[in-house]
Amino acid sequence: MVAKPIVIVSSYPPRLCGIATFTEEAREFIQKAHPERDVLVISHLDGRGDGVFPIIDLKNPEWWEVVALKIRELDPYVVHLEHEYGLYEYRDTSGRGDNNEGFLRLLDALRQYPTVAEPHTVHGRLKDHEAYFMRGLCQLTDVVLFKCHYQRWRLDWNFTSYGWEVSRNIMVVPHGARPDRRWGPEDVRRLKQELGLARAGVADHIVGMIGWIQSNKRWDILLSMWEDVRREIMEKCGTEWDLLAAGTVRDEAHLKDYQEWKRETLHLEDKGIAHYYEFIPRGDLYYKIMAVCDFVVIPSIDETQSGTLARVIALNKPFITTAPLEGLTAQTLESEGGLLFTTKRMLKEKIVRLACDENLRLRLGDNLKRYLENEVSWEVVAKQYSEAYRLANEAKRSGKSVVIDPEF
């Protein structure tokens, strides 16, 4: 008897989308954890690949009906839905959105199947439309997966402020990180040659700012101060450092900032103190570019968690990021692998400190290695997914809702 498949609903490559990239990696490790089952994907129209069904058409207000019919045809063991608000928002001819009503209708149509939903954006303080959506999501799904514990206990506060019952079917499963993309110091020189950085004359020591270039990433903060930061590092510890800014834009709404920040980086490159590297942040190239950096700066001002940080953790790279900032701050505290800043002065101090203290860089890297192996490796996360699938199936068999004890 052929085992029923696991069906993932999500955006999927080649779409230039963080959730698509996430799902591609997650699917790989879910498949390794369930070799007896096919792991299939229902994606938007631009998804491609074996076992991928590109049928989500957001021009159709009833897109969810087409998806529900396909899922019934596939008769899954479990349906695992990746959620981000922009991925499922239908907009009418006047541009008015449905606040993800179609996604909730899809969940309602799938009540006969075990369902696991994984929302990627759960802010600590919800807007009204987010609160009503999250309430519906929790009511219609067997198991809901949050990335961080703070999201779980903050949701209790959000729901009680509306006078709603607190949801008990929420499991905390962190953003997965690859355990198989770590290069040693002896590999860095080869990677610099491969990437053309040695030919470009980039310094031996590199501060990285890597990933999608978009307005909330605030690359301008570091770009505006890099010349002074680099000078202070040289004065304090006598070592030469360059800034590597690498990525590209994926959304026209961020095109102006992308063009300005790229221009600023190229201006610094002309001075011989920085380097710009254009690439699409996905696949092995993403990891290779990250690997040549001594540490990474993530000056984001709006993240509940970060695919960039997942790759930093995968490579055990020390990092500096903004605080207080939801998932970025939570994972910095939990991993003890990074430093936090809240002002430009603090950012400058932290960069200089990390550049001049190799022992600190090694200690933070070791902390990230332990955090990866014990907490966020995709191999660990895939086991947690399997437990969520088991709970969802048990809920359907028993007719009883899943109850998971909260952290607090």
For residue range 342-355, what is the model confidence (pLDDT) as tens digits?
999 999 999 999 99
Taking only the tens place, the pLDDT of each residue in 232-244 is: 999 999 999 999 9
d(CA 385, CA 381): 6
Q: How far apart are the first and last CA of the chain?
A: 43
Look up residue 86 and give its DSSP letter.
Answer: G
> What's the confidence (pLDDT) of residue 136?
98
- Look-up of token digits 């009418």: 92
Spatial contact of 282 and 301, defined as CB atoms under 8 Å apart: no
Nearest C-alpha neighbor of 114 from the set 403, 405, 397, 368: 397
For the four alpha carbons of 184, 237, 337 and 219, in that order, the dihedral sign comes to: negative
> What's the confidence (pLDDT) of residue 161?
96
187 contacts: CB under 8 Å, gap ≥ 6: 291
Peptide bond preceding 14 in cis form (omega within 30 of 0): yes
d(CA 203, CA 243): 9
> What's the confidence (pLDDT) of residue 257?
98
Spatial contact of 82 and 41, defined as CB atoms under 8 Å apart: no
Confidence of residue 182 (pLDDT cuts 50, 70, 90): confident
The pTM score is 0.95
Structural domains present in the chain: 6-176+378-398 (3.40.50.2000), 185-375 (3.40.50.2000)
Spatial contact of 31 and 59, defined as CB atoms under 8 Å apart: no
d(CA 365, CA 190): 21
Q: What is the mean pLDDT of residues 366-389?
A: 98
d(CA 208, CA 293): 5
> What's the confidence (pLDDT) of residue 303?
84
Look up residue 77 and give its DSSP letter.
Answer: S
> What's the confidence (pLDDT) of residue 185?
82
For the chain, how big is the Rg over CA atoms in Å?
22
Taking only the tens place, the pLDDT of each residue in 12-51 is: 999 999 999 999 999 999 999 999 999 999 999 999 999 9
Per-residue tokens: 168: 């008990």
Task: With a cut of 80, say whether residue 1 has pLDDT above it.
Answer: no
Taking only the tens place, the pLDDT of each residue in 219-233 is: 999 999 999 999 999
- The answer to which of 174-178, 195-199, 347-351 has the lowest mean pLDDT is 195-199
104 contacts: CB under 8 Å, gap ≥ 6: 133, 136, 137, 140
Taking only the tens place, the pLDDT of each residue in 264-307 is: 999 999 999 999 999 999 999 999 999 999 999 999 998 877 89
- Look-up of token digits 């899922």: 71
Confidence of residue 123 (pLDDT cuts 50, 70, 90): very high
Nearest C-alpha neighbor of 305 from the set 334, 280, 330: 330
- The secondary element (H helix, E strand) that includes residue 211 is none
> What's the confidence (pLDDT) of residue 37?
98
Spatial contact of 147 and 329, defined as CB atoms under 8 Å apart: no
Edge-to-edge strands of the sheet including 241-247? 274-278, 241-247, 205-210, 295-298, 319-322, 338-341
d(CA 120, CA 82): 7
d(CA 344, CA 275): 21
> What's the confidence (pLDDT) of residue 406?
83
Task: With a cut of 90, say whether residue 407 has pLDDT above it.
Answer: no
Task: With a cut of 80, say whether residue 126 has pLDDT above it.
Answer: yes
- The secondary element (H helix, E strand) that includes residue 43 is strand 39-44
